[in-house]
Structure formats: structure tokens, C-alpha cells
Structure 1
Amino acid sequence: MESPPSSGLVSPGSQPPSGPSASPGTSPPASTATAATTPPVLSAEAQVRLDQELIAAAKANNVALVSELIGRGGNVNAKDAIQDSAFLYAGAEGFNEVLRLTLAAGADVASTNRYGGTALIPASEHGHVETVRILLAAGVPVDHVNNLGWTAVQEAILLNNGGPRQQDVVRQLLDAGGDPNIRDPQGRTALENAERLGFGEIAALIRAR
């Protein structure tokens, strides 16, 4: 009597078919492995939406969401309608965890905001001591001049109170090679502005250079 045609199924207890595709420990196909680690390619419109979500999350200092959106392919250098990026805003506001995430994701440290300033300039103005340290270590240009004609050193003096945080910031900027002799639009050096505003400690720091 003829055997019935094979159905192609493996009966219980039988050995699995041999061959590379059934070898134990075989890695999944390359396309499967890649899909698990690489964000999908988005349409231009979807990318813009994702980037704007990332900027909004950065502005809310939502570290977990920023991390998730970067993982989904959010661009830390993309800007919104007022020229803020996730990186620039985090630096300006002293959101250091978000800032570190954007730097790890390839932030352009030379990028500028709507005032033509790097992230270092508003960070220095606001006296964000640790943020300034992070930005300087990342290589943000220390002597960049913004549209108002101010460097980070000048803005740290002109737009704050000369207190301990500002003194620390100015010290860091000088240690990083910041030039206190770059003049503002009124022709004043950083030392002249510090003396004019009565910031004796900052003036002493500059004179010591």
C-alpha cells in the first residue's frame, strides 16, 4: 500500500529539519535586528512633527520624554518658529539632564538662537554655573559675539547682579580662554563694564588675567 503524501509538517517528537535556518542560536535576519535599534525612516511631515514634540518636551524639562523622542529619531538641532532647538533651550534655561541628552545625540554646539547667540551666552547671563561647565566642555565657542554685540563674558556681567554665581561663570569663561578685551557696541571692555556696574569681585578676576 502506498504511503500518503507528506504534508510537510513535523510530527510531535520527531527531529526538526536540519539546515542553517533551523540551527539553534542563529541570529535573526539582519533586517529584524536593525529594526529593533534604528528608528524608522519618517516622512518629512512626520519628522517635523516629531522634532516639534521634542522641542516642546525640552521646554517642559521632561527628561524621560526627551529621551524617548530622541530614540524615535527626533532631531536635537531642529528649531521651532522662534529659532529654539531642544539643545539651545536646554542650555539657555539650565536644564542639564536634557542638555546632556541633546549633546549625546549630536547637538551642534555652534548653533545660534534668534539673537545670534550660542547656548553659552544665555547660560552665562542667567548664572547657570554647571550648565556653563557642560557647554564649555562640549566645545561651545567661548568668544562668539551675538547680534547685540556681546560675548558670554560681557553678557554675564551686563545682564545680572555680579553675585557669586556670576563670578563663578566669569571665572570659568576666562579659564576657557574667553577674551575680556572684546568690546561691546559702546566700546567698553568687560573690565570697564564690571567697574562701571560696581562688580568689584568680577573686576578683580579680570585684572588677575
Structure 2
Amino acid sequence: MIVNNWMAAPALAATLLTSCSASSGAIAAEQLQQAAEKGDSRRVEALLGQGADIDNRDADGRTPLLIAVRAKQIETARTLIDAGADVNAKDRMQDSPYLYAGASGQNEILRMTLAHGADLRSTNRYGGTALIPAAERGHVATVQLLIEAGVDVDHINNLGWTALLETVILGDGSSRYVDITRLLIAAGADVNLADAEGVTPLAHARQRGQHVIEDLLRKDGAH
């Protein structure tokens, strides 16, 4: 019996060590997430140096980088990206650091993600590229960045809308939406690409009294 206990001791010790290691890893992961949200770059660096998993997930599937992007912590996002964080890692809502930066108009972070392997074809929960919500929310400079990066200007989301259609349908026709319309047309957007019900951007602009946008579309051959 004594022999059996002696033989079982190493196995027990290994089990306890594994349990402690897992517990320590969970604590480090939570601390990294908290530091990312607070913008504590020094703490982030320290935790990474101690071996914390850079792409660990919280209960919502968000990585520390996505947490930092959502909290608009630019320098902390930079620290994580430079350390190799995945700019395309999606949470349960299908947001990634790249997609969220584009949708929210965080251009400095967006540039970082583009420089570190952002997947221009990745889509959000609506089936849209980063360009579509950027256009819909009136982020002119963001739209320009994404066009220059090579995002497909005629991508159609699950609603049957392109970036141009969302600019008209969900925009208010103000100067920023006029500027976005100009950018999309200059980038070669199909001005006659209709929505799922066959309604064209021109028809939508006319219905909404967006006269400047209507004129721009007409000049580019819209009908």
C-alpha cells in the first residue's frame, strides 16, 4: 500500500502542477484583457513577456487586441499588433480588430491592421466588408483608406447592398456622404448595381431628395 502511494505521488504532483498552470494562465489572460481595455501598454508588455497568450479570448470571444480597439486604446493596440496579435481574429459577433477599426473610423489603428495582414475579404455579421459600414457611417477618410487598400467597392452584403447603396440608403445626403459617393464613383463602383429588390442607387437618391448625390450618379451614367 505504501509502495502504491509512493508510485502515485508523481502522477498527483503532475496533476496539481497542470491545474496550477491552467489557473495561472487564466489569471494572466484576464489581466491582459483588463490591461488592454485600460490602455496600460506597459502592463500589456510585461504580461506578454511573462508568457501570456496574446490572442486569448474573453467570454465574448474577443482577443486583447479587439478589446483595445473597442476601447479606442491606440497605443495599446500598437503594442499588441507589433507583438504579433491577430488583426483578423473574430469574436462571437464576427467583429475583428480590422473590421471594427474600419466600421468605427479609427484610422490610425486601421492603418496598423492593414500593414499587418488585414484580410480585405473578411466580412462582418451582415456579410459586409469593412468598407460598407465605413461608408454607411460617413467615415470619409476611412473609406479612402479602404479603397486605396483594395477592398472590393462592389461587394454585396447579406441585405443586398453595396457600399454605394448604403451611402445613399442609410446616409443623410450631407457633404460627407457626397464625398463618399465621389470616392466610390472614382474607384469604379457600379452606379447601376441595384439592391435585392431591383432599386438602383439613383432611384434611392431621388426618393430621399439627395439631389447632389443624384447629380453625381447621373453624370457617371446612372439610370
**TM-score (normalizing by structure 2):** 0.72
Contact 2:55 2:64 in 1 (8 A): no
| 1:131 equivalent in alignment to 2:139 | no
Q: Which position in structure 2 is the counterpart of 1:48?
A: 56
| 1:69 equivalent in alignment to 2:80 | yes
Q: Which position in structure 2 is the counterpart of 1:199?
A: 210
Structure 1 residue 176, shift from structure 2 partner? 0.1
For the residues of structure 2 that align with 1:118 and 1:137, how far apart are their CA atoms?
Answer: 14
Structure 1 residue 72, shift from structure 2 partner? 2.0
Query: What letter corresponds to residue 131 of structure 1 in structure 2?
Result: T
Contact 2:165 2:201 in 1 (8 A): yes
Q: Which position in structure 2 is the counterpart of 1:164?
A: 175
Tell me, which stretches of 5 or more residues in structure 2 are unaligned?
1-47
Q: Which position in structure 2 is the counterpart of 1:108?
A: 119
Structure 1 residue 70, shift from structure 2 partner? 1.1
Structure 1 residue 118, shift from structure 2 partner? 0.2
Query: What letter corresponds to residue 56 of structure 2 in structure 1?
Result: V
Query: What letter corresponds to residue 82 of structure 2 in structure 1?
Result: G
Equivalent of 1:99 in 73, 94, 110? 110
For the residues of structure 2 that align with 1:109 and 1:59, how far apart are their CA atoms?
Answer: 19
Q: Which sits farther off after the overlay, 166-175 or 50-59?
A: 50-59
- CA root-mean-square deviation: 1.8
Instruction: Give the total of aligned pairs.
Output: 169
For the residues of structure 2 that align with 1:47 and 1:154, how far apart are their CA atoms?
Answer: 35
Question: Percent same amino acid at aligned positions?
Answer: 50
Query: What letter corresponds to residue 129 of structure 1 in structure 2?
Result: V
Query: What letter corresponds to residue 125 of structure 1 in structure 2?
Result: E
Q: Which position in structure 2 is the counterpart of 1:23?
A: none
Q: Secondary structure at the match of 2:63?
A: helix
Structure 1 residue 46, shift from structure 2 partner? 5.6
Q: Which position in structure 2 is the counterpart of 1:27?
A: none
CA deviation map 1:42-85 (0-9, x unaligned) = 89x76334971000111111110101111222100000110000
Equivalent of 1:141 in 129, 136, 152? 152
For the residues of structure 2 that align with 1:105 and 1:111, how far apart are their CA atoms?
Answer: 14
For the residues of structure 2 that align with 1:180 and 1:96, how far apart are their CA atoms?
Answer: 26
Tell me, which stretches of 5 or more residues in structure 1 are unaligned?
1-38
Q: How does 1:8-23 map to 2 (within 5 A)?
A: none
For the residues of structure 1 that align with 2:57 and 2:112, how far apart are their CA atoms?
Answer: 19
| 1:190 equivalent in alignment to 2:195 | no
